[in-house]
């Protein structure tokens, strides 16, 4: 979630129009009329069919169904879904094969919803800029499995940190290191490079926002900060980083850079992990890129354009009018936008599942007409990499901005604030995605 979204999210209250059983909305809508009811889009032979909700995972007492959370992650090797859960002050572990709650990791080790931050910290960082956990991921190094999670700040821990847990099982771990990234506000989203044994993580709310490079070792006590990159022109923070194994480079979404004419311009920073500098930037016009997911086989990446560009903004005296909702697929090598989707936008986290060839978008800031004039209409969007086609949207809920998929069984996980984790599964056969 970007800096502008942090400010706006504080105004979003409740879960509007949600039923626990979510109904798919398919639309063969023309560009500019997203979310319409329609006949749907035919699924390519061999591709899974339309998603359907199969269960909502509830949290047992004494835990609460999380209302405040951030990034989702699935470790397909153990088929475990992880959620950065601020409500329960933990990272939650859900069995992604049986769709059952397994436990929590790091309970009490994070800043949680930010209740223990000072008024000055909340004023500087915003209500979500002090919270944690935020970004999370599981990695393996030297035969050891670790969970990493970015954290916020409190009155007694005023500097941003990354928490590293040694996992004894997929749902149990011990805090092994708390690594400072040196910020006044939270350490947010992160990515892992197993070739160079580096994690990169963004301090997205600090001024200026910056990336931190941290060495990764089997013994987390040996981990240390080895480099930083400030982004002075990133006027709306830093969003999702991802590592590309094809060229050993990081790709990092920068939601907004300054322009003099009021046109909205984001970019993807391409970063060399060996030199720890920006090798090049790829422009992203008319979009505030938030989520990023790389299709390694095709060397394309989905850019989930956030709700910031839909709403518009004024920064440093320049007014940036709202744009129509959109999502892009970009060629990793050239930066060329190879596909554009008006049917879904306003996304935060996005995910690519190589086993289904589908992208999933947690479009929590989508509107009824794709414009700022429309009413709030959050959805889970589905896009096929087979010909780069939009397939369907499922209504979700206010603040349902997190998504991940299990590549072993194709299930998709979307946390619904206050209700639990909605689990979707693909149908099979000659289905028509989004048929009404």
The residues facing 284 across adjacent strands are 266
Percent of the chain with pLDDT over 70: 87
Full set of structural domains in the chain with CATH = 3-433 (2.130.10.10)
Question: Among 24-28, 112-116, 162-166, 289-293, where is mean pLDDT lowest?
Answer: 24-28
Q: Check if the beta carbon of residue 376 is closer than 8 Å to that of residue 369.
A: no
What is the rounded average pLDDT for all residues in the chain?
90
CA angle 225, 209, 416 (to 5 degrees): 95
- The pLDDT assigned to 41 comes to 54
Contact 410, 27 (CB under 8 A): no
Q: What's the rounded Cα separation, in Å, for the pair 342 and 259? A: 24
Host H or E run for residue 167: strand 161-169
pLDDT digit string, tens, across residues 225-245? 999 999 999 999 999 999 999
Here the tokens at position 240 are 């999702």
Considering the chain, what percentage of its residues have pLDDT values greater than 90?
Answer: 83
Burial of 240: CB neighbours in 10 Å, binned 0-12, 13-18, 19+: buried
DSSP state for residue 25 in the 8-state scheme: B
Burial 318-341 (b: 16+ CB within 10 A, else e): eebebbbbbbbbbebeeeebebeb
Residue 177 tokens, joined: 């290191």
pTM above 0.85, yes or no: yes
**Residue 433 pLDDT exceeds 80:** no
Q: Express each pLDDT in 253-286 by its tens digit.
A: 999 999 988 889 999 999 999 999 999 999 999 9
pLDDT tens digits, 4-50: 444 344 333 333 333 344 544 443 332 332 333 222 455 555 577 68
pLDDT tens for each residue of 197-229: 999 999 999 999 999 999 999 999 999 999 999
| pLDDT reported for residue 42 | 52
Residues 6+ apart with CB under 8 A from 414: 362, 380, 396, 400, 402, 403, 421, 422, 424
Rg (CA), the chain: 20
- Cα-based distances in Å from 207 to 232, 233, 394: 8, 10, 37
């Amino acid at each position: 979630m970007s800096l502008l979204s942090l400010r706006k999210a504080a105004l979003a209250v409740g879960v509007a129009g949600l039923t626990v059983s979510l109904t798919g909305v398919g639309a063969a809508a023309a560009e500019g009329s997203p979310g319409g009811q329609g006949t749907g889009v035919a699924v390519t032979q061999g591709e899974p069919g339309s998603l359907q909700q199969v269960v909502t995972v509830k949290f047992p007492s004494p835990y609460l169904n999380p209302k405040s959370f951030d990034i989702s992650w699935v470790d397909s090797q153990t088929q475990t879904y992880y959620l950065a859960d601020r409500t329960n002050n933990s990272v939650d572990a859900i069995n992604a094969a049986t769709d059952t709650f397994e436990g929590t990791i790091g309970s009490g080790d994070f800043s949680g919803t930010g209740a223990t931050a000072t008024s000055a910290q909340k004023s500087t960082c915003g209500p979500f800029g002090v919270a944690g956990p935020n970004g999370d991921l599981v990695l393996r190094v030297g035969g050891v499995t670790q969970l990493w999670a970015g954290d916020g700040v409190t009155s007694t821990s005023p500097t941003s940190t990354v928490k590293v847990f040694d996992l004894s099982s997929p749902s149990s771990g011990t805090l092994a290191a708390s690594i400072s990234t040196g910020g006044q506000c939270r350490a947010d989203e992160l990515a892992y490079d197993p070739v160079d044994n580096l994690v990169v993580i963004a301090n997205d709310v600090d001024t200026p926002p910056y990336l931190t490079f941290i060495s990764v070792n089997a013994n987390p006590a040996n981990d240390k900060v080895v480099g930083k990159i400030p982004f002075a022109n990133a006027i709306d923070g830093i969003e999702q980083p991802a590592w590309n194994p094809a060229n050993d480079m990081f790709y990092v979404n920068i939601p907004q850079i300054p322009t003099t004419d009021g046109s909205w311009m984001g970019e993807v920073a391409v970063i060399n992990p060996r030199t720890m500098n920006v090798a090049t930037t790829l422009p992203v016009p008319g979009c505030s890129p938030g989520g990023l997911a790389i299709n390694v086989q095709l060397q394309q990446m989905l850019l989930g354009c956030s709700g910031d560009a839909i709403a518009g903004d004024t920064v440093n005296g320049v007014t940036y009018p709202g744009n129509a909702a959109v999502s892009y697929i970009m060629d990793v090598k050239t930066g060329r936008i190879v596909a554009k989707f008006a049917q879904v936008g306003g996304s935060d986290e996005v995910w690519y599942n190589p086993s289904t060839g589908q992208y999933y978008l947690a479009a929590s800031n989508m509107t009824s007409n794709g414009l700022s004039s429309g009413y709030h209409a959050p959805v889970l969007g589905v896009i096929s990499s087979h010909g780069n086609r939009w397939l369907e949207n499922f209504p979700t809920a206010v603040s349902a901005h997190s998504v991940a998929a299990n590549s072993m069984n194709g299930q998709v996980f979307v946390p619904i604030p206050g209700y639990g984790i909605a689990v979707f599964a693909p149908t099979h056969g000659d289905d028509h995605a989004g048929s009404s």
